[in-house]
Amino acid sequence: MFHGKVLVAQGGGPTAVINQSMVGAVLESRKFRSVELIYGAVHGVRGILDEDFYDLTQETTHNLEMVANTPSSALGSTRDKPDLKYCQEIFKVLRAHEIGYFFYTGGNDSSDTVRIVNDEARKAGYDLRCIHIPKTIDNDLVENDHTPGFPSAARYVSQAFMGINLDNAALPGIYIGVVMGRHAGFLTAASALGKKFSDDGPHLIYMPERTFDIDQFIQDVREVYNRLGRCVVAVSEGIHDASGEPIISKLSQEIERDAHGNVQLSGSGALADLLTQKVKDALNVTRVRGDTLGYIQRSFVGCVSDVDQHEAREVGEKAVQYGMFGDRDGSVTIKRTGHYSVDYELVPLEAVAGKTRTMPDAFISAAGNDVTDEFRMYLRPLLGSGMPDAHRLRPNKVPKILAAGS
């Protein structure tokens, strides 16, 4: 068992339960005499470079528990994507502060950062345990059945589309909702879990695992609208054409890119507006509306899955246990067992780092515009307890009098 200080950090997009993982790691670390102090890096790896740390040893257990139940990243986060040179600087700081355990909660980029830092420590012969704690609302980490943060975001998306469907049924028209997900459509697919009756929306669901054809999209919307007199559509922000070009690039005149050179998909309502206009022009329907769910999906306070909370806490605890007892580096993963229960395994960092998981074919309908019952069975237990339900009046119609005699 190593001796020294613990450093915890949070990276990437905030989630509703990422603080559970941080608090799980902090409280579990306090149980070990080999731990001298516990630090938290402010704004992830950027805080490490700046030596901007909180001394979490001084936090009360009560306050940590309250923070654990609060969405978003309590330590702050960063979108920095460290390269080798950046990670070498991280290692210098860890070494200077005599950090013995490094626990970093994040997605695939964060796991790659942990891998590089771990390699640098080994090359230098420095005793450092490096553990990646999984987190992402996109649910796109390989080796995992699902990842903390996704179930709560999926709960929000399913309830949002439940409400959207009710609104659309009351005032019929065409509605297009854009959901987060660059390469993986899990979150967009979650919109299907709000359906109760066969004619409920979303009637069409488009995920980035399938090629998006604008003409076929218009045809699909027309068919549903002609049949039901309304249509609710869920679309992933990452939909693309056969060449892999994002649809937003094809439709928009101005393309914004992020710090990594990727087309900026989140943060604007451009895709919803563009698809809405396409539908208006093609179908000559006046009531066509579009929304972008945007950042609200990630840290919505009133819509957190209790299953997600418990598992996020446990992956933080397991990270410390693996580091302390197992003297191993790696990435904590969630494995599903039984009807619904989970186990946790530590896999090599290189098995997860920089890789992207997408939806299995078995989760996507043959037409590519809906999900299957297998996906519904996969997601339902993750949404947690107390999911609301939507009901409707039975159509016991009164016979017409004036119309009957005409």
Q: How many helices (H) and strands (E) does the chain have?
A: 14, 11
Separation CA 166–CA 162 (nearest Å): 6
105 φ, ψ to 5°? -95, 125
Q: Tokens 């009351």 belong to which residue? A: 170
Among residues 257, 260, 254, 258, which one has the least CA distance to residue 273? 254
- 138 labelled ligand-binding: yes
151-173, pLDDT tens digit by residue? 999 999 999 999 999 999 999 99
- 13 labelled ligand-binding: yes
Separation CA 290–CA 274 (nearest Å): 9
> Quick one: pLDDT at residue 260?
44
Contacts of 92 (CB under 8 A, 6+ apart): none
CB atoms within 10 A of CB 109: 18
- 222 labelled ligand-binding: no
Separation CA 229–CA 217 (nearest Å): 17
**CATH architecture label of 2-146+302-349:** 3-Layer(aba) Sandwich (3.40)
Q: Quote the tokens at residue 38.
A: 């516990």
Q: Quote the tokens at residue 247.
A: 């649809």
51-97, pLDDT tens digit by residue? 999 999 999 999 999 999 999 999 999 999 999 999 999 999 999 99
| CB neighbour class for 227 (10 Å; exposed up to 12, middle 13-18, buried from 19) | exposed
User: Where in the chain do CATH 3.40.50.450 domains reside?
Assistant: 2-146+302-349
Ramachandran quadrant class, 139 (left: phi over 0; alpha: psi -120 to 50; beta: rest): left
Taking the C-alpha atoms of 134, 325, 130 and 359 in order, what is their torsion angle to the nearest 10 degrees?
Answer: -20
- 298 labelled ligand-binding: yes
Q: 136 and 12 in contact (C-beta within 8 Å)?
A: yes
Q: Which amino acid is at 160?
A: A
Separation CA 321–CA 35 (nearest Å): 12
**112 classed as catalytic:** no
373-394, pLDDT tens digit by residue? 999 999 999 999 999 999 999 9
pTM of the model: 0.94
- 176 labelled ligand-binding: no
Separation CA 122–CA 51 (nearest Å): 22
Say which of 80, 109, 112, 138 is annotated catalytic: 138
Separation CA 91–CA 199 (nearest Å): 56
Overall size of the chain counted in residues:
406
Residue 169 DSSP SS3: helix
Among residues 149, 179, 357, which one has the least CA distance to residue 265? 179
Per-residue pLDDT of the chain (406 residues; tens, 9 = 90+): 556 899 999 999 999 999 999 999 999 999 999 899 999 999 999 999 999 999 999 999 999 999 999 999 999 999 999 999 999 999 999 999 999 999 999 999 999 999 999 999 999 999 999 999 999 999 999 999 999 999 999 999 999 999 999 999 999 999 999 999 999 999 999 999 999 999 999 999 999 999 999 999 999 999 999 999 999 999 999 999 999 999 988 766 555 655 445 555 555 678 999 999 999 999 999 999 999 999 999 999 989 999 999 999 999 999 999 999 877 899 999 999 988 999 999 999 999 998 999 999 999 999 999 999 999 999 999 999 999 999 999 999 999 999 876 5
Separation CA 64–CA 358 (nearest Å): 34
Q: Quote the tokens at residue 345.
A: 């395994």
- 295 labelled ligand-binding: yes
Among residues 331, 328, 326, which one has the least CA distance to residue 345? 331
What DSSP string runs through 283-331?
H--S-EEEEE-GGGGTS-TT---HHHHHHHHHHHHHHHHIIIII---EE
Q: What is the CA radius of gyration of the chain?
A: 24
- 104 labelled ligand-binding: no
User: Where in the chain do CATH 3.40.50.460 domains reside?
Assistant: 149-300+358-381
CATH assignment, 149-300+358-381? 3.40.50.460
- 181 labelled ligand-binding: yes
Separation CA 235–CA 164 (nearest Å): 14
Separation CA 137–CA 382 (nearest Å): 13
Distances (CA, A) of 355 to 87, 153, 210, 239, 285: 19, 21, 19, 19, 42
Separation CA 168–CA 80 (nearest Å): 40
Separation CA 16–CA 73 (nearest Å): 8
Q: Quote the tokens at residue 288.
A: 């066509």
The helix (H) or strand (E) run that includes residue 120 is: helix 108-124
DSSP 149: B
The helix (H) or strand (E) run that includes residue 231 is: strand 231-236
